[in-house]
């Protein structure tokens, strides 16, 4: 079945080709000057002090946790409704993820239930800015300060999103971003760690390159230096090929986000005409960037059958994301009823820069018809 209207489609033009050509011509294709340029541009865009480019957001989260010395025996509070990379990063440190339920409207970590999960083993909190809508960071930061906990923002979906005029990812101790194909801008795969803390930044950068100085840093030095491996690090560095795409994409970011908000508004209007489908809620404190446009399907409608019916009509949809506490890998005893309900009812519908209103009209028509059929099933 050919997809007439896909769930997503990255936006590229000749800028990416030009940046890639310059990198290939330079002969320096691993981590080097283009990575430095990409990091500098992210730093300036966010108004943050330090940015470290890495392979993906999962490695960014892993490095962030290692930098604050999360280890075996520690517990980290994690927003339950998230792609399992968030919880996996905690397991990589041999620590235990403690899943915390989310707000049923925003899909984000619910500050009101954080306190009951905190004990003397708790080391950090990871709020997730779900689908590009920032979590309620003031309340989360206040709880963290009261209990002397670190905050690592999983801002994988939220580059350019704002919470009360502060960029998502810049409010906690560390922020982690993704450049996966479904994100606002993409490098195919890629990630970024940001922080205002110099010591954490140096630790993260060192750990991202095997626990040694980077090849490009050594290349710039007038001396001949044999690197020393001071601690167990990882090969999490970004390449200049990847960064070249990122530099070109970042120039488009504001344009992409503006267009996606326009598309979201049009979807909102179409869904007002539809029963059994609830449009996403937007907090008054948030500037939502709609990495995904995720609706809730009424409990009387079989969401999975709806996905299959729509793909038969050439319209691609997908679940929102996962209720982490029910994934077998975690062996969790936590109960997160809001997250579980959203997991069972969420539906991501087409959202990308090149999506046109006429495409939404077609997709909405198929969605309405499919829901009408299923409500009688």
Catalytic (active-site) positions: 183
Name the strand (E) or helix (H) holding 296: strand 293-297
In contact, 110 and 101? CB cutoff 8 Å: yes
pTM for the full model? 0.95
SS3 86: helix
Q: What gap in Å lies between CA 286 and CA 103, rounded to an integer?
A: 14
Using CB atoms within 10 Å of the CB of residue 66, give its burial: 0 to 12 exposed, 13 to 18 middle, 19+ buried: buried
- Both structure tokens of 73: 């025996």
How many other CB atoms are there within 10 angstroms of residue 213's CB atom?
Answer: 17
Would 14-250 and 253-374 be classified into the same CATH topology? no
pLDDT digits (tens, 9 = 90+) for 40-98: 999 999 999 999 999 999 999 999 999 999 999 999 999 999 999 999 999 999 999 99
Determine whether domain 253-374 maps to CATH 3.90.1150.10: yes
pLDDT given at position 195: 98
pLDDT given at position 50: 98
Alpha-carbon Rg for the chain, nearest whole angstrom, is: 21
- φ/ψ region of 202 (left if φ > 0, alpha if ψ in -120 to 50, else beta) reads alpha
String of b and e for 23-34 (b: at least 16 CB within 10 Å)?
beeeebeebbeb
pLDDT digits (tens, 9 = 90+) for 282-305: 999 999 999 999 999 999 999 999
Q: Which long-range contacts (CB under 8 A, 24 or more apart) does 282-285 make?
A: 282/133, 283/105, 283/106, 283/133, 283/134, 283/136, 285/134, 285/136, 285/163, 285/164
**CATH class belonging to 14-250:** alpha beta
pLDDT digits (tens, 9 = 90+) for 157-211: 999 999 999 999 999 999 999 999 999 999 999 999 999 999 999 999 999 999 8
Domain boundaries, the chain: 14-250, 253-374
Q: Kindly report the CA angle at 297 between 140 and 129, in degrees rounded to 5?
A: 20
In contact, 80 and 219? CB cutoff 8 Å: no
Higher pLDDT pick, 80 / 221: 80
- Both structure tokens of 116: 């009951």
pLDDT given at position 156: 98
For residues 206-233, average pLDDT = 78
């Amino acid at each position: 079945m050919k997809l007439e209207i896909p769930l997503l489609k990255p936006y590229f033009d000749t800028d990416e080709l030009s940046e890639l050509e310059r990198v290939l011509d330079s002969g320096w294709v691993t981590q080097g000057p283009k990575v430095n340029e990409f990091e500098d541009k992210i730093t300036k865009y966010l108004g943050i002090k330090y940015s470290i480019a890495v392979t993906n957001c999962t490695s960014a989260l892993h490095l962030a946790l290692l930098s604050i010395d999360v280890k075996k025996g520690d517990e980290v509070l994690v927003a339950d409704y998230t792609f399992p990379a968030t919880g996996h990063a905690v397991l990589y440190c041999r620590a235990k993820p403690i899943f915390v339920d989310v707000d049923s409207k925003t899909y984000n970590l619910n500050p009101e239930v954080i306190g009951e999960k905190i004990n003397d083993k708790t080391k950090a909190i990871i709020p997730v800015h779900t689908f590009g809508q920032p979590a309620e960071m003031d309340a989360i930061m206040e709880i963290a300060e009261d209990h002397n906990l670190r905050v690592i923002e999983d801002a994988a979906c939220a580059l350019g999103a704002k919470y009360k005029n502060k960029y998502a990812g810049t409010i906690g101790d560390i922020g982690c971003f993704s450049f996966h194909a479904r994100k606002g801008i993409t490098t195919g795969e890629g990630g970024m760690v940001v922080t205002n803390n110099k010591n954490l930044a140096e630790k993260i950068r060192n750990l991202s390159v095997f626990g040694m100085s980077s090849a490009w840093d050594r290349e710039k030095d007038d001396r001949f230096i044999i690197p020393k491996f001071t601690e167990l690090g990882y090969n999490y560095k970004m390449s200049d090929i990847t960064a070249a795409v990122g530099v070109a994409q970042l120039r488009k970011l504001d344009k992409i986000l503006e267009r996606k908000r326009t598309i979201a508004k049009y979807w909102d209007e179409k869904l007002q005409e539809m029963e059994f489908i609830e449009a996403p809620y937007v907090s008054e404190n948030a500037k939502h960037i709609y990495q995904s446009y995720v609706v809730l399907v009424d409990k009387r409608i079989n969401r999975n059958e709806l996905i299959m019916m729509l793909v038969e009509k050439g319209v691609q949809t997908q679940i929102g994301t996962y209720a982490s506490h029910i994934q077998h890998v975690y062996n969790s005893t936590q109960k997160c009823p809001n997250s579980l309900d959203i997991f069972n009812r969420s539906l991501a519908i087409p959202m990308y820069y090149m999506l046109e209103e006429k495409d939404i009209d077609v997709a909405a028509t198929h969605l309405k018809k499919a829901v009408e059929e299923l409500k009688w099933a």
